Amino acid sequence: MTGADKPVLPALDGLPVEDATPPQLRGIEAIRDAWKRMPARPGVYRMLGADGEVLYVGKAKSLKNRVGQYAQGRGHTNAITRMIHQTASMEVVVTATETEALLLETNMIKRLKPRFNVLMRDDKSFPFIAIRTDHPTPALQKHRGAKNFKGKFYGPFASAGAVNRTLNTLQKAFLLRSCSDSTFSGRTRPCMLYQIKRCSGPCVGLVSEGEYAALVKDSTDFLEGRSTELQERLAAEMREASDALEFEQAARLRNRIRALASVRASQGVNPSTFSEADVFALHCEGGQSCVQVFFFRAGQNWGNRAYFPRHGAEETAAHVLSAFIAQFYDDREPPKLVLCNIDPSDRALLEEALCARADCRVEIRVPERGEKKEIVDAALLNAREALGRCMAESGSVAKLLDGVAETFALAQRPERIEVYDNSHIQGTNALGAMIVAGPEGFIKNQYRKFNMKTEEFQGDDFAMMKAMIRRRFARMLAEREESPSSVAEEGLGEEGRSSAPGPDRFGAPQPLPPTPQGRGGAIENGGVDFSKERDDSERETRFGAWPDLVLIDGGEGQLNATLEALGELGLKHRVVVAGIAKGVDRDAGRERFFMAGRAPFRLDEKSPVLYYLQRLRDEAHRFAIGAHRGKRKAGVAKNPLDEIDGVGPTRKRALLDRFGSARGVSRAALAELELVDGVSKELAKRIYDFFHDKR
pLDDT bucket at 459, cuts 50 / 70 / 90: low
Print burial letters for 407-429: b (CB count within 10 Å at least 16), e (below 16): bbebeebbbbbbbbbbbbeeeeb
**pLDDT, tens digit, 9 for 90 and up, residues 426-452:** 556 678 889 999 887 888 888 988 887
Greatest mean pLDDT among 101-110, 208-217, 308-317, 530-539? 208-217
Same fold flag, 408-499+546-610 and 640-694: no
Instruction: Decide: 525 and 323 in contact? Cβ < 8 Å.
Output: yes
How many other C-beta atoms are found inside a 10 Å radius of the C-beta of residue 108? Answer: 19
d(CA 288, CA 106): 24
Residues 6+ apart with CB under 8 A from 168: 198
Q: Give the per-residue pLDDT at 406.
A: 92
Which CATH number does the domain 277-390 belong to among 3.50.50.60, 3.60.21.10, 3.30.420.10, 3.40.50.1360?
3.30.420.10
Residue 593 has what pLDDT?
A: 92
- Of residues 454 and 644, the one with the higher pLDDT is 644
The pLDDT assigned to 510 comes to 35
At 592-610, the pLDDT tens digits run 899 998 899 988 888 889 8
**pLDDT over 90, % of the chain:** 10
Residue ranges per structural domain of the chain:
17-112, 128-266, 277-390, 408-499+546-610, 640-694
In angstroms and rounded to an integer, the radius of gyration of the C-alpha atoms of the chain is 31
pLDDT given for residue 17 in this prediction = 43
Assign 493 a pLDDT band (cuts: 50, 70, 90).
very low
The residue ranking higher by pLDDT, 364 or 28, is: 364
Hey, what long-range contacts does 495-499 have (CB within 8 A, 24 or more apart)? 495/573, 496/410, 496/411, 496/573, 496/574, 496/575, 496/576, 497/546, 497/548, 497/574, 497/575, 497/576, 498/411, 498/412, 499/546, 499/548
What contacts 36, CB < 8 A, 6 or more positions away? none
Banded model confidence at residue 647, pLDDT cuts 50, 70, 90: confident
- pLDDT, tens digit, for every residue of 416-429? 999 998 876 655 66
Question: Tell me, what's the pLDDT at 551?
Answer: 93
Q: 283 pairs with which residues across the strands?
A: 290
Report the C-alpha gap between 620 and 434 in whole angstroms: 7
Residue 608: is the preceding peptide bond cis (ω within 30°)? no
pLDDT exceeds 70 at position 64:
yes
Residue range 22-40: mean pLDDT, rounded: 81
Phi–psi pair at 191, nearest 5 degrees: -90, -175
Q: Rounded to the nearest 5°, which phi and psi values hold at 375?
A: -70, -40
| Rounded Cα–Cα distance for residues 34 and 28 (Å) | 10
Per-residue confidence band for 127, with pLDDT thresholds at 50, 70 and 90? confident
The pLDDT value given to residue 492: 35
Cβ-based neighbours of 603, under 8 Å, separated by 6 or more: 407, 591, 593, 609, 610, 613
Q: What is the largest CA-CA distance in the chain?
A: 100
**What's the mean pLDDT in 360-381?**
90
Q: 588 vs 513, which has greater pLDDT?
A: 588
Specify the CATH class of 17-112 in words: alpha beta
pLDDT of 531: 36
Residue 512 has pLDDT above 60, yes or no: no
Q: Give the pLDDT score at 505.
A: 31
DSSP letter string, 476-545: HHHHTT--HHHHHHTT--TT---PPP-S-TT----PPPSSSS------STT--B-SSS---GGGGSSS-P
CA gap 523, 535 in Å, rounded: 11
Q: How confident is the model at residue 646, as a pLDDT?
A: 83
CB-based contact 279:375 (threshold 8 Å): yes
Which of 209-213, 542-546, 548-552 comes out lowest in average pLDDT? 542-546
Q: Which of the residue ranges 368-372, 482-486, 506-510 has the most confident prediction, judged by mean pLDDT?
A: 368-372
How many residues are listed for the chain in this entry?
695
> Whole-number mean pLDDT of the chain?
77
Q: Is the pLDDT of residue 517 over 50?
A: no
CA distance 290 to 378: 14
Distance CA 394, CA 371 (A): 35
Distance CA 139, CA 131 (A): 6
Q: Is 535 within 8 Å of 120 (Cβ atoms)?
A: no
With a cut of 60, say whether residue 525 has pLDDT above it: no
CA distance 330 to 516: 30
616, amino acid identity? L
In the predicted model, is pLDDT for residue 7 greater than 50? no
pLDDT greater than 80 at residue 520: no
* Mean pLDDT within 528-539: 38
pLDDT tens column, 616-634: 998 988 888 887 677 666 6
Q: How confident is the model at residue 577 (pLDDT cuts 50, 70, 90)?
A: very high
Burial class of residue 640 (count of CB atoms within 10 Å of its CB; 0-12, 13-18, 19+): middle
Element (H, E) at 19: none
- Phi-psi category of 225—alpha, beta or left, where left has phi over 0 and alpha has psi -120 to 50? left
Under CATH, domain 408-499+546-610 is a member of which superfamily? UvrC, RNAse H endonuclease domain (3.30.420.340)
The pLDDT assigned to 658 comes to 82
- Rounded to 5 degrees, φ, ψ at 327 are -80, -25
What are the angstrom distances between the C-alpha of 102 and each of 106, 323, 418, 546? 6, 11, 38, 34
Helix (H, G, I), strand (E, B) or coil at 118: coil
pLDDT value at position 341?
93
- pLDDT above 60 for 101: yes
pLDDT tens per residue, range 287-340: 788 899 988 887 777 778 888 887 766 678 888 888 888 888 877 888 889 999
CA 361, CA 351: separation in Å to the nearest integer?
8
Three-state SS for 663? helix
Residue 88: pLDDT over 80: yes
Amino acid letter at 674? E
Reported as a pLDDT band with limits 50, 70 and 90, residue 499 is very low
What pLDDT does residue 442 have?
86
pLDDT bracket for residue 454 (50, 70, 90): low
State in words which class domain 640-694 has: mainly alpha
Q: Tell which residue, 228, 203, 202, has the closest CA to residue 214.
A: 202
Mean pLDDT of the 463-477 span: 88
Closest by CA to 285, choosing from 172, 442, 160, 391, is: 391
Better pLDDT: 620 or 527: 620
Going by the DSSP 8-state scheme, the letter that residue 354 receives in this structure is H
pLDDT at 380: 92
SS3 of 120, please?
A: coil
The pLDDT of 27-32, averaged and rounded, is: 85
Q: pLDDT tens digit string along 202-237? A: 998 888 888 898 888 888 877 776 766 777 777 887
Provide the pLDDT for residue 246. Answer: 81
Expressed in angstroms, the distance from the first to the final Cα of the chain is: 80
Share of the chain above pLDDT 70, in %: 79
Residues 431 and 266: their CA atoms lie apart, in Å, by: 42
Mean pLDDT within 174-195 = 85
Distance CA 199, CA 215 (A): 11
